[in-house]
Each structure stands twice: as C-alpha cells, then as structure tokens.
A = this chain, B = another copy of it.
Amino acid sequence: MKNEIEKYFDLLWPITRSLTGNGNRKTLKILSEIVDMEIHEVPSGTACLDWTVPPEWNINEAWIKDENGIKIVDFAINNLHILGYSIPIHTTLSLNDLKEHLYTLTDYPDVIPYLTSYYKERWGFCISHNQLLNLKEGNYEVNINSVLDYNGSLTYGEAVLQGELDKEILISTYICHPSLANNELSGPLVSAFIYRELEKIKDRKFTYRFLFLPETIGAIVYLSKFGQRLKEKLVAGYVITCVGDRGDFTYKRSRTGNSISDRAAELILKQTEITYLIKDFFPGGSDERQYCSPGFNLPVGSLMRTMYGFYKEYHTSADNKDFISFEALQNSVFKYLEIFKLIELNGHYLNKFPYGEPQLGKRGLYPSLGSQKKKELFIDALMWFLNYSDGKHDLIEIIDKSGIDYHEFYSVISRCVESGLIDKI
C-alpha cells in the first residue's frame, strides 16, 4: 500500500490548493481514482451558519523581480511563496514598501512560512527570513496574476460506503493546503486509502461517510446543510490530519470526552502502542472545532501522529516529502481500520446463562484437565466476556477492564455465538 500512497502523494503534491479554486477540483479528481466521491460546488456568497462562502480564488502566476529583472521569488517554484488569497497586483516599489508585503519567520529563518488572508483583501509573499535579510535596497517589480471571483464556488467531495445500518461513522479531512506534506496531504491520502480498504469489507455494520473539505469554511458549509442529520446518525467520527510524520500517535478526544470514538481509539492505542499521547478536547485545532461546537457536540475526535503546532516544520516549507514517511502513512491507515473494526464489534452482549458460570467444559470451551497452574488467555477472555455481558457493560469496557489483548475477544465472541452462550442486544 505504501508505494501507492507515495504515487498519489507525488501526483497531489504540486497542486496549489486553497479554500476554493481549480487546485481543489484537480485534487478531488485525482482522489476520485481511489474514492467514489460526489463533488459538490457551493456558490460564493452562500450564507452558512454565521459565515458566508468566500469568492473563489485562482492564481496563475506570482513573482518578484529585482532591478536586473531576475525573479528572486517565484510562485512557480514554490506555491507557499504566495500569501493565500492574495489579490492581483502589478507594480514596482522600493524595498521598504515591499517589506510590508513580505512575511517571514524570524525564529526559523531558512524556511518559507505558509500564510493566508482569506477574509481580508491583501497581497503578499512568504519568503525565508534569510532571504529577507539579504535583499538589497532598490526597486522591485511585483506581479500577482490572481482572480478573486465572486461568482465562483467552493468545492468539496463526499463519499459514502453504505453499511447494514444507517448509523454513520464520519471521516473528515481537508484539502485546502498547497504543497505541504504532513499538514496536509497526509489526511486526504490516509482517508482515501481507508476508503479503499473498507470498501473491500462486505459486512460493514455502519455506514461510512467521507468528507474532503476546505478547512473551517468547508465544515461550516457542510454542517449548515447536514449538521442536524449528523446529530441523528453519527456513532463516531474522526478528523484525519497530521498522520504522516514519524512521531508517536496523538489522540485528541471529542468534546464529550467519552464518546465511542474516544473509547475505541484509546483502547486500541493502549493495547498496541508503547508511547502515545491523549489530549482532552480543546476548542482550537482543525475541523473538530466545528463538529464539536456546542450546538452540534458531535462525537468527533482526531487520531493524529505529531499534532498540528507541535512540530517546528508545521505550516512551513519544511513540512515536505522528507518530513513524512510512507510507512507511517500506511500504519495510520491500519490503525484507523483497527479502530473501526472495534467500533463495529462493540455493543452490549447478553450472557444467556447469568446464574453461576455456564458449564464451559461440556461445550468444549474449557480444558478437561482441571487445576492446571496456567490458564490460556482465551479462557480468561471468555470468562471476562461472559461475566460482564450483563447488558450494562459494552465490549470496549469489558476488554479494557480485563487488560487482555482485544484480538482474543474477537475469537471469544465468535465461539460464544456458535455455542449459543450469548445474544447481541
């Protein structure tokens, strides 16, 4: 899988994405090779909750030339050079005047920062601080060939894998970042490959909904249309972002702090990872801010690797292909799949023989040689499962209480079903 992820990474990397625009359309088209998605267009100016869809932005060209006509900054070389949503300009100005439109990072002087100005009309360039320090006095020609189209639209993709039930699991990721790797091509890539794997499973209990949106405004748009339906249908959900670096996993809880999303993700991490980080919900970050706004309060968490803002390459040109690992991306896919499997199997089971232990021996579920000093893990898991399948404890609780590997319980469940020992409620 990881080679294919890399192939799609290379295809998607050069595209200039933003809140809106042709780069986003192109991105969704490429992802459509993996994900059978519908692509939606929402007109600029559409009111959504407290917000309005911004004009569509596209850019063809952007550069700064020095007095010798040499391009010293060129969007064609790195699309981070342009301040996102820059308005068009073609002018010549002095270094001092130019500096008001140059953005750098003093703390991290050799990288280009990633910056935007979506809701205030501005133009600007992002360059490394070292380059800024080396700029000579003189006049500079600036050219930004961009279009802000008030009759344009915002583009997002949606895909659904129907399950046995209408109850849904949401996978939401964002497609508005230009050439950045961990934050964010990792999210759309991992989401797409999760789709491909889930599609292969024929007896999915839940319906899986995938959203490929521009961050914030995309989630706002979606919630303004379908937020109430999500409130009714959603069992669990995750915002997938920052899943490509080499760091440990970080799980950010949903706002309720004990949703199925949280409990499943945390159990899987606890049993499969040596070191990982759990963070309580906080109302910053990515689109979980919108899903977990108090009016919706959806069970949406986020399983990441190193969290946004917690690595120095974040939102700079150093968040590039070198920074990520395709092994890590692939493992992120598998980790999510493990979580989904646990959510599918979770629920309240009912031991049909709750008075005393059922006699397991006569059902071939207990060793006929008694008083042995060591018991198999299977027997332990079986006894936990039977004792606590009382209609009050769900599978996740039982596994967690037992401390036994969750895989053991998967065979316990099927053996118990075969033997007629349990019902599923």
Residues of A within 8 A of B (CB): 49-51, 84, 103, 105, 113-120, 122, 216, 219-220, 223-224, 227, 255, 280, 282-284, 289-290, 292-297, 309, 314-316, 351, 353-359, 361-362, 368-373, 375, 380, 383-384, 386-390, 401-402
Known: A283-B384, A371-B315, A375-B284. A290 touches B114 (CB 8 A): no
Q: In the bound complex, how far is the Cα of B357 from the Cα of A103, in angstroms?
A: 27
Which B residues touch A119, using CB under 8 A? Answer: 359, 361-362, 368, 370
A84 near B370 with CB under 8 A, answer yes
Q: In the bound complex, how far is the Cα of B374 from the Cα of A316, in angstroms?
A: 13
Please give me the residue from chain B that is nearest to A392 by CB atom.
B294
Known: A282-B384, A283-B388, A383-B283. A115 touches B371 (CB 8 A): yes
Query: From residue A112, how far is it (CB to closest CB) to chain B in Å?
Result: 12
Q: In the bound complex, how far is the Cα of B367 from the Cα of A117, in angstroms?
A: 9
Q: In the bound complex, how far is the Cα of B362 from the Cα of A119, in angstroms?
A: 8
A289 near B383 with CB under 8 A, answer yes
Residue of B49, B372, B388 touching A356 (CB-CB under 8 A):
B49
Chain A at the B interface: SS class = loop
Q: In the bound complex, how far is the Cα of B355 from the Cα of A51, in angstroms?
A: 11
Query: From residue A211, how far is it (CB to closest CB) to chain B in Å?
Result: 14
Residue of B50, B115, B296 touching A358 (CB-CB under 8 A):
B50
A290 near B356 with CB under 8 A, answer yes
Q: In the bound complex, how far is the Cα of B182 from the Cα of A242, in angstroms?
A: 57
Which B residues touch A295, using CB under 8 A? Answer: 354-356
Which B residues touch A116, using CB under 8 A? Answer: 369-371
A283 near B115 with CB under 8 A, answer no
Residue of B115, B359, B383 touching A372 (CB-CB under 8 A):
B115
Please give me the residue from chain B that is nearest to A382 by CB atom.
B283
Which B residues touch A118, using CB under 8 A? Answer: 370
B354 near A293 with CB under 8 A, answer yes
Query: From residue A123, how far is it (CB to closest CB) to chain B in Å?
Result: 12
Q: In the bound complex, how far is the Cα of B295 from the Cα of A422, in angstroms?
A: 14
Known: A115-B369, A255-B387, A371-B315. A359 touches B50 (CB 8 A): yes
Q: A220-B357, A283-B386 are in contact. List 8 more A-B contacts (CB 8 A).
A: A50-B355, A119-B362, A280-B401, A284-B375, A293-B354, A294-B388, A296-B355, A296-B356
Which B residues touch A220, using CB under 8 A? Answer: 356-357
Q: In the bound complex, how far is the Cα of B384 from the Cα of A282, in angstroms?
A: 7
Query: From residue A49, how far is it (CB to closest CB) to chain B in Å?
Result: 4
Identify 26 residue pairs between A and B in the complex whose beta-carbon atoms are under 8 Å apart, listed by A's number.
A49-B356, A50-B359, A51-B359, A84-B370, A113-B373, A114-B371, A115-B372, A116-B370, A116-B371, A117-B369, A118-B370, A120-B361, A120-B368, A216-B357, A219-B356, A223-B355, A227-B355, A282-B384, A283-B386, A292-B387, A293-B387, A294-B388, A295-B356, A296-B355, A297-B390, A314-B373
